[in-house]
Structures are given as C-alpha cells and as structure tokens.
Amino acid sequence: MIGERHRWDSEGERMNVEEETEPDDSVEFNTETEKYAKAVLEEIRKLPGGRFSSFLADNSFPRQVSHQDALIGDPILPKPPLRLIADSIISGIQLKETQKKRYGDLIRYSARIEDGLCDQLTPAAREVFEKGSITLDDLIGIGGNPDSDDRSGVYLHILRIPNMFYLYVGQAVVLSERIQYQHNDPEKRRKYPSLHYKVWEELEGQDDFESIFVTLGTVGHYPRDSSEQLSLNLLEMFGACILQTLKSSDLEFWLPEGFPVRWADRGLNVALPLWQGYISRGSSQILQADMKMTKEEFSAALHGANETRRQWAINVKNSYQSLRVHPDPQMQAIWWKYFEKCCAARDQLFLGRTKSYYTTQNNSRKNALDFLANGKQCKIVQSNWGSYSASYADYSFNLGLKAHCFNHLVKQSRSGKFDYFVDGKMAFLRPILVDTPTNLRYAPNALPTDPASRLIILADTDKGDGTGKLRYLFTKGTKVVEKLNRLVDLFEGIDYDTSMSLERRHSSGMRSRETE
C-alpha cells in the first residue's frame, strides 16, 4: 500500500531513547568489558598525550574492538526482498514533499509500479536477487555486456582488487555510449571528477585490479519525456537500494525497516538517483550527474530558486561530507585530501573572512590540542538537580558523582558564569581520542559514524590535578553527541564552518567561546 512503511522483522525494530532531564550516567560493564577497561586505563596512565591509534589491550580482548568486517573480503548480502524494497521506495517518496510533487503523477497513473520495477530487471539479475544470499561472484555472473548494448537501462560497475570491492549503480539513455565514451575514457574521468572516479583512480594501479560492468535492468525505448526519465530514475534507485550503494543514512530511510545493511560502505553513489535529471546545455541534454560545474555554478544550484536542482546540490554536498566519518579509511582519505586542499586555499585568500576570524580559529585549535595533549583542571559545578559536572569551554562533562555529595562545599557564583560551584574542589579532565569507535566512549548513544564514538573522557575527582585516580565518565544523553562531534572536529583541525556543515553537529556557543 502506498504511504505505508514496511518493517523487515521485529528484531530490527529500534527503541527511541529520550533525553534525560536528571542524568543517570552509571554504566554497567560486563565482566570482559570491565577487564578491558581496566587494562586500557593502565596503559593510558603510563603514556602521555590524548591521541591513541589503538591499545595493547586490544590484542587480549579482540571482541571489545570495533572491527570493520564489512570491508574485509567478500561479505554476503542477504536475499533482498524485491517487492518490499520497491514498496519502501514508493512509500518513501510519499513522505518527501519535493519527491512527492515530482513523482506523484507517475505513481498515481502507473498501474502496479512496484511490480513494474521488478519486471524491468534482466532475467539474470532477477535470478541472482531471488536465489538467496548474494556474493560478489554472483553479481559478476549477471553479465549482460552493457558496454555493447544500445538500449536504455541501469548498470552496475564493480571495482575489484583482492579482498576489497566497491559498487556503483548508474543509468544511461544508451548503455554502450555511457560506458565506452564516458566511464572507460580516462580523459572524461579527469574532466568530470566524482567519488566513483576517485576510488577508481586509487585502485586501478594496484595488482589484480578489475573493472567489471553488468546490466541490472533495461527499458523498452529511450526516454521520450520527463515521465519516462523519472521511470529510469526509479529503476536506478531500485538497483542502488537492492545492492546498498547509497550512503548508510539514506539506506536506513529507503530500505524496509530492519533489513540488514551489509554493503553500504562499499557503495559509490553520492546523490540519490531520484534527483537525477537532464539539463539543457546549448542543443545538448546532459545527465545532471555528468555536469562539469564550477564552484560558482554549484553554489548557484545550492542556493537557487529551482527546487529540484537545489535539493540535488544539497544531497551531493551532504553525501560528500559523510565521507568524513566513513568506516573505510580510503574514503576518509579522499575527504581529508580535499579538505586540506581547501584549507590551503582558505589560509591564503581567507575566502571573504577577516583575518581575525582565522586567528580565532587557530587559537581554538591550539587550545583544543593542548586540552587533548595535557588534560585540563576545571571547576566542579552543581546543577539544579544536585548533579556535578566540569567543563572545557562550552563542553560540559557529567562527573557521575553522587548527587548532593558536596552540598557543604557548594557556593553561589558571583561571576554569573555558572550558578553554583564546589568551593575547594577541582576535577581534572583527560580526553582520549582513538582511531575507531570504542565501547569506552563517553557518549554510549553515539553512532559508529559519529566522531564522538571515538572519544573517551577520564576524570580525576580525587586529587583533582591528574595525579589521583582516573575514572571513565559516561553520559546517557543523546543531544550531547552532536556537541561532542564538534569537539572531536576541533581536535582534528576542522574549522567551525566546515564542521557545522557536517551531519549531526551542534554548537550552542559562539565560535569565540571555543578558545576559553
């Protein structure tokens, strides 16, 4: 039924976590995690600094370490429920106002559109998708020779090296022209840079590299109008959802709820295929994804009045920024390389900002690095509920102390910076940043893609100067995750504006407050 979202099974249902008004930040460790936490703490005590790639304890407690199993070898994709995926796409369109306006007539006047999507798959593709779990060899076996096929349709591009592969789903008015004269032309790949081509460039120089195209689906004739173009978009979207080539957050929305997302980190599709369209350039019709845009042209699309182009540009921008926290180091490296290039240009030209702005940013970075390297002694503050916290700049950390335990020392502040402080008591905060998500993170509700999932906060509330007993701090709050994501960005040298353009970021204070 249109408009109804489907659940894959009851095991996949997620619980809603409400923000606590009075924090209860006690965290129960199981026995193995407790032993691991103790071993990690002993390592940290003996080593300076706050940045760690990994811990020696990881070798003794491998189950406590965040592994990227999906990126190793050739994982198996569970049998995709084709009809449920098609239903989920159509019902998802009904929930997106812009997409509903664009695709509404097509959905309204097309009989059994979900069945139509399944019928447009090639017999070989449908056989693979319906047989059960899917391996990479199964996908290669679909074949179809799209590089010599003059029909319109949707294809899959497989980039493969030993123990690693990436997938890209695309569409073409003429499959052979798209593959032969666009994808397989190195000059065209340089002219139209994309994540797809960047990963291709990174892999093609490695031993035993393979580039393989297969045909996923075809249509009877070339698109003759915008409605038929939208039908091709739906078929591409269908293929991208089946093979999970979109970013994880998109798949969570467009796939049936609870269906396991195993291959999302292999996907190279940046913008949603639903935004696809053809744009007039002189007498030619150019596929929007293939447009060579200047920075000014992309900015114009991002802020322009054309809703479709604007939403497409927003989607491209957000998808690119999601590489910042991609679990694949090669994907992260692409983001960091471009970010560093932008930083170099920014530092030379200021990009319309005043020099004082960048002075403030540099001071923020310098102070944050000092906090990460050496920790910081902070005042202990009492909340209205009697709980205690300590702050670095605008970042407050719950100390997990018994409520009201320092009531005899609490005094009202005269400075107005906070209401109540504990006279004569200090807390020493020591942040620890690791390279992969950790079970010891300060914010257990942080997602694996959140930078906050890599942040451990230790505190000495005994002596308060870092020489006393260190404890792990935790918070069960959810909103704090977005602020901590910004703090980790600050540790890693990402300026305020870039950080705020990333997903799941929040800063309640002014930029200048970060230097406090």
CA dihedral 78, 83, 84, 86 (to 10 degrees): 110
The shares of helix, strand and coil residues in the chain, as percent rounded to the nearest 5, are 45, 15, 35
Residue 465: per-residue pLDDT: 92
Angle (nearest 5°) at CA 427 between 425 and 431: 175
Task: Give CA 266 to chain center in angstroms.
Answer: 13
The dihedral formed by the CA atoms of 44, 48, 50 and 54, expressed in degrees to the nearest 10: -50
Q: Assign 6 a pLDDT band (cuts: 50, 70, 90).
A: very low
Question: What number is the average pLDDT over the span 422-438?
Answer: 89
* Best CA proximity match to 246, nearest among 206, 275, 205: 275
Which has more pLDDT, 278 or 158? 158
Neighbouring C-beta atoms of residue 502, cutoff 10 Å: 18
Task: Determine the residue type at 262.
Answer: R
Identity of the amino acid at 380: I
Residue 2: band (very low, low, confident or very high) from pLDDT cuts 50, 70, 90: very low
Residue from 7, 5, 216, 153 nearest 93 by CA: 5
> pTM above the 0.85 mark?
no
In this structure, the chain runs to a length of 516
User: What pLDDT digit, counting tens, does each position of 323-353 carry?
Assistant: 666 666 667 777 777 676 666 655 554 555 6
Residue-wise pLDDT tens digits, 87-108: 999 999 999 888 898 898 888 8
Q: What is the 3-state secondary structure (H, E, C) of 90-136?
A: HHHHHHCHHHHHHHHHHHHHCCCHHHHHHHCECHHHHHHHHCCCECH
Query: Over the stretch 201-226, which tens digit does the pLDDT of each residue have?
Result: 888 988 899 999 999 999 877 777 77
**pLDDT one-digit tens code per residue, 226-283:** 778 899 999 999 999 999 999 887 898 999 988 888 787 788 898 889 987 654 444 4
